[in-house]
Structure 1
Amino acid sequence: MTTLKSRLQDDLTAAIKARDELRSSTLRLTLSAIGYEETAGKVARELSDDEVLKVITREAKKRREAADAFEKGGRPESAERERAEGELLADYLPKQLSDEELQAIVAEAVTEAKAGGAEGPKAMGAVMKIVNPKVAGRAEGGRVAAAVKQLLAG
């Protein structure tokens, strides 16, 4: 079993013993999503830590989007719960890059892409290809794309 998945299960056991309903339900749902991912496809397999991290990232993003939807729908208590679950999942994710760190990585990638002959807005794909492995899990795709567009336009 991967170390991240076993950490989630250990934390779930501790949350159940402590009668922490928010933490236990959030971890149950996340472990369920991981289990689903492991059995999806033709052959059941165990996910690596990187794959487990992607599932946790996806689950955290769902929570943020749900919180926004609840907020717009006039259900602040549900939005608050979703935000709390998202913050709980954030503890399992790598520290997010600051805007300055992201800008530096993107600027370096733009320079590298331009050296390879990519120019203007059409260079977006080439730059993203360079940036994505460097920021994997530490910055949301939308943030990265916005930073790349901004630097390519300017």
Structure 2
Amino acid sequence: MTTLKDRLKDDLTAAIKARDELRSATLRMTLAAVTKEEVAGKTARELSDDEVQKVITREAKKRREAAEAFDKGGRAESAERERAEHGVLDEYLPKQLSDDELNALVGDAVTEAKAAGAEGPRAMGQVMKIVNPKVAGRAEGGRVAAAVKRALAE
């Protein structure tokens, strides 16, 4: 069993014992998503820590998007609940890159791509190939793409 999955299970047990409804419900949903991912496909398998991390990232993104949708729909209480669940999941995610750190990584990748002969907006794919492994879970794809577009436009 993965250590991250073990940590989720242990934290769920502690949350249940502490009668922390928000935390226990959030961790249950996350563990259900992990289990669903494990049994998806032709054969069941054990997820690695990286794969569990991706599931948690996906769940956190769902919470953030749901909070935005509830805000637009005028359902502040539901939006607040989604934000609280996102906060619980944030504890299991790597620290996100600041805008300055992201821009520095993107700048280096643009320089590297230009040295390889890539020019203008069409170099986006090449730059993304260089920068994505360096960012790996520490910044959302949309944020990275926007930073790359800005850097290529300069």
> Which TM-score applies when normalising by structure 2?
0.99
Q: Which residue of 1 aligns with 2:119?
A: 119
Q: How does 1:5-84 map to 2 (within 5 A)?
A: 5-84=5-84
Q: What amino acid sits opposite 2:3 in the alignment?
A: T
Work out the percentage of aligned pairs sharing the same amino acid.
81
Cα deviation for residue 67 of structure 1 reads 0.2
Q: Show CA shifts across 1:67-119 (max 9, x none).
A: 00000001000000000000110010000000010000000000000111110
In 1, the alpha carbon distance for the partners of 2:75 and 2:8 equals 29
Q: Which residue of 2 aligns with 1:92?
A: 92
Cα deviation for residue 123 of structure 1 reads 0.2
In 2, the alpha carbon distance for the partners of 1:7 and 1:137 equals 19
In 1, the alpha carbon distance for the partners of 2:15 and 2:50 equals 24
Cα deviation for residue 3 of structure 1 reads 0.4
* Structure 1: gaps (5+ residues): none
> Which TM-score applies when normalising by structure 1?
0.99
In 1, the alpha carbon distance for the partners of 2:137 and 2:153 equals 25
In 2, the alpha carbon distance for the partners of 1:28 and 1:87 equals 15
In 1, the alpha carbon distance for the partners of 2:43 and 2:119 equals 43
